Amino acid sequence: MFLIGGNLPVYSTLETMYDSYCQESSDLFHVAFGAVEQFEHNLKMVRQIKHNFSIRVMGSIGYPLTAAQVERVYLGGLDILNIALNAHEGMQCHGCGSERDVWQEAVSAARAVFSRWSVVSSIAFEHHQLQAVRDNITELLAKGVIPLLKPAGEGRLISFEESTELYSFLAAQWHACRVPLKPIEPLLRLTTPFEFAESSGFVRGVFDKIQDRRTLAASDLRRHLRTSGAEASFESAGL
């Protein structure tokens, strides 16, 4: 997985990415969006990455997006969007409800644009009791959203036994819902305690690569058709 700061200079970052990618290919580019004031710059970064690399792009955004912004990040090239449950903590604005209400609205807006299992939501441990975490996992899976667990900050870690219980519950629910984890496996290998089986052989590995490329190509085609429809709508409206 290639981690990219969305606030970095676009073209010099692309040069560095290209040099690194030539040395060792990646399966997932992960763009971390900065503050809301940097949204346009971050979106430009995503567009340039998608234009120059044929690879799956994931974005993590730590502030609530409007439905229009969700549409723009999708059309800009994000294949996977990560919305953290605690992303809106402490946010005060006119018309905003609780943190959970804003989170639910953001997830619903993303699901209306992104395909099933292309929206991810990270749940921070310290914000909930264990049962609340389990309830959130179940709720997300019912909506076609992949739940992840986000470790708490220093000094607020839950016990080893509680952590093991949560991760075991999460894995069982993934399996029960047949969640396709392959697209985000590079992220899971880096940020979770799960162990993933290696490819069973060369032929199987090639087959998996072909299937993954087909899935990515289908995603790009879906985005292209949606973009064309949006452009046609703007043209017909004289915009």
Please tell me whether residues 190 and 207 are part of one structural domain: no
Where is pLDDT greater, at 101 or 6?
A: 6
The pLDDT tens digits of the residues spanning 93-112 come to 434 456 777 888 888 899 99
Please tell me whether residues 130 and 231 are part of one structural domain: no
Any bridge partners for residue 56, and if so which? 28
Please tell me whether residues 139 and 226 are part of one structural domain: no
Please tell me whether residues 223 and 117 are part of one structural domain: no
Please tell me whether residues 203 and 191 are part of one structural domain: no
Output the CA torsion sign for 81, 82, 87, 88. positive
Question: Phi and psi dihedrals of 34, rounded to 5?
Answer: -90, -145
Percent of the chain whose predicted confidence (pLDDT) is above 70: 73
Mean pLDDT of 30-43: 93
Percent of the chain whose predicted confidence (pLDDT) is above 90: 36
Report how far residue 126's alpha carbon sits from residue 85's, in angstroms, rounded to the nearest whole number: 11
Predicted TM-score (pTM) above 0.75: yes
Mean pLDDT, the chain, integer? 80
The pLDDT tens digits of the residues spanning 146-173 come to 999 987 665 556 778 888 899 999 999 9
Please tell me whether residues 165 and 203 are part of one structural domain: no
Please tell me whether residues 42 and 126 are part of one structural domain: yes
Please tell me whether residues 67 and 155 are part of one structural domain: yes
For 127, 163, 171, the CA distances from 111, given in Å and listed in that order, are 24, 28, 22
Query: What's the total number of domains in the chain?
Result: 2
The pLDDT tens digits of the residues spanning 215-239 come to 766 666 777 677 665 555 545 555 4
Range(s) of the domain holding residue 215? 199-239
